[in-house]
Structure 1
């Protein structure tokens, strides 16, 4: 590799330059660790994507293998399931600002939904699925047309629009999830057979945005094949600030975690110590002292060992009044029946 360049210019305080030099050494070592990791150990990356995810298998001495995509029908259910959100956002924007001219955007979006309706006949799906998708798209068009004919929007109407179609949206979610899960289960079954004994020391990492961290699909599917004992050990979940990330960033993050574990073992005799922020323990004590000094209640999580095979998200019941799933939320809501408009007014602007 390239020689390390330690930064220590006269303009930098000596102690700050010390930390800069340490980071130079750290980054070079992490890059070498990643090379060695991929040369010796299989790695699976499960990356979030709008098309149901991506999975890549890295095996020593071979080019990365990317699994086939989730079948396109997944995206059909997802797209139609998402479509009422477009109507909602346009109308909600109009309700939030009197200056927003919502009529043309809503008319244009209704045209997109009509075009999708006309394209449903080309899908190779059972009649019941076509009927489901047609109902949701027709609901969008009908509500938009009503708003345009009456030349008004209101919060009560928007609420009725959403609640009346909610059970059908939940059904599209169920169908999309079934397609996605069956696909990735098939991929991982094949990879496990292919790796044979090497599966027992394969590492895997998935990424998650804030809203996908709980019950993360790709991570949960991986856990079925790697076992609970791999969670937090060989199976890791990385939080990311965007829906998608690169395989390069994920590999670097995985290498960093595993390399730091060896660092923790070397200095403190604990292989998993650096899986948690090392400074956090001292800061926790400082927070307690400062909170007590200021007369405010200390709010901190309970202490737990740094090594755990628990799921990396909340598993306690929490608020018993709140729904736990989309199905729970739908079951608790009152039903609304939204009448469709006549074909004559359906295309009104």
Structure 2
């Protein structure tokens, strides 16, 4: 058994005397000594966390260089950019989803493109439309921040119409499935008709836009079908190849790290395709959806940095909190370590009790 005495005895190079002196200093702490300003005393205590963070960061960087296998996914407009990473190194990088995905989504975004131009010029008051109860008045006021008195939307809407016209002429040459091409043609024609009417009359309103968007909804559903089909086929083919390449043992340990915008964070399409293909005993803990405001410039480095934190915390949780599984789970998971204690103390807080009434 290693005791403090034998530890000091084998650490002569470190200076056993220094340990002894430090022990004596601790024993006499609080007795006769020169007073220390509170600021310096607090700085000395806070230095523990500063040094911990430095060592923690060094560990994270070291762990990141050993991670693998990992699939990193940038959930971009092309159906996802995929990276296979092993031992911290990118093995392969590609977009596995075919061009039909991007074509289908592009055509389907016609109504959203028109909306993005005209939205600031809406009336800031909720009109008597069928879904009025679902429209937040304050949100509408903030979106419609210019209002209907201005016609500055006409020029950018004409320019967007030129984009739609060019796409409409080129649909036959895009080599799309027949049903998707027909749906795209109907969406573009309806969008151009809406723009023509609005520009000619120098006016539009929410009801008129909803009439247009409702009329093309069936065609939008068609584009969604083809985009989904292309994505499933492309991702499945890639996962099948990578699984064979890695072997079953390595695949069972696979981590998947997906970057996704807030608007798709709850049910990301790449996540729902990939998860059933993983080892189901680990899928819940090994598939990580990282919500972001914008895609990182270096997805692999960012993913590995975050994943290293997750991996090392998994072990830290069981070493630091071996007697409290709930707190260990908090450290290893997405819950803030202080969250439960804060909730406990908030039970009698006036703000907290008032909010529950």
Task: Give the TM-score category using the shorter length.
Answer: 0.7 to 0.9
Matched, 1:31 2:82: no
Q: Is the 8 A contact 1:44 1:58 kept in 2?
A: yes
1:109–1:266: structure 2 CA closer, same or farther, 3 Å change rule? same
Determine the structure 2 residue equivalent to 1:288: 347
1:172–1:11: structure 2 CA closer, same or farther, 3 Å change rule? farther
Q: Is the 8 A contact 1:93 1:100 kept in 2?
A: no
In structure 1, runs of 5+ residues without a counterpart are 1-8, 300-349
Cα distance, 1:290 vs structure 2: 1.6
Determine the structure 1 residue equivalent to 2:197: 146
- Bigger mean CA offset, 20-29 vs 62-71: 62-71
1:178–1:150: structure 2 CA closer, same or farther, 3 Å change rule? same
1:267–1:126: structure 2 CA closer, same or farther, 3 Å change rule? closer
User: How big is the alpha-carbon RMSD for the aligned residues of Structure 1 and Structure 2?
Assistant: 2.5
- Structure with larger RCO (C-alpha < 8 A, sep 6+): 1
Matched, 1:54 2:81: yes
Max radius of gyration: which structure?
A: 2
What is the distance in 2 between the residues matched to 1:216 and 1:165?
25
Determine the structure 1 residue equivalent to 2:19: none
Determine the structure 1 residue equivalent to 2:152: 101
- Cα deviation digits, residues 123-146 of structure 1 (max 9, x gap): 112333211111111111111011
Matched, 1:217 2:269: yes
Q: 2:48 aligns with which of 1, 18, 21?
A: 18
Q: 2:310 aligns with which of 232, 242, 257?
A: 257
In structure 2, runs of 5+ residues without a counterpart are 1-38, 123-143
1:21–1:42: structure 2 CA closer, same or farther, 3 Å change rule? same
What is the distance in 1 between the residues matched to 2:356 and 2:91?
48
Determine the structure 1 residue equivalent to 2:208: 157
TM-score between both structures, scaled by the size of structure 2: 0.74
Determine the structure 2 residue equivalent to 1:132: 183
Matched, 1:236 2:288: yes
What is the distance in 2 between the residues matched to 1:14 and 1:99?
62
Give SS of 2:290's match: strand
Q: Is the 8 A contact 2:80 2:95 kept in 1?
A: no
What is the distance in 2 between the residues matched to 1:148 and 1:253?
49
- Which is richer in helix? 2
Determine the structure 1 residue equivalent to 2:99: 72
What is the distance in 1 between the residues matched to 2:49 and 2:275?
38
- Bigger mean CA offset, 208-217 vs 112-121: 208-217
Determine the structure 2 residue equivalent to 1:323: none
What is the distance in 1 between the residues matched to 2:293 and 2:282?
25
Q: 1:201 aligns with which of 236, 239, 253?
A: 253
Cα distance, 1:54 vs structure 2: 1.4
Q: Is the 8 A contact 1:223 1:230 kept in 2?
A: no
Equivalent residue pairs, number: 287
Q: Is the 8 A contact 1:80 1:136 kept in 2?
A: yes
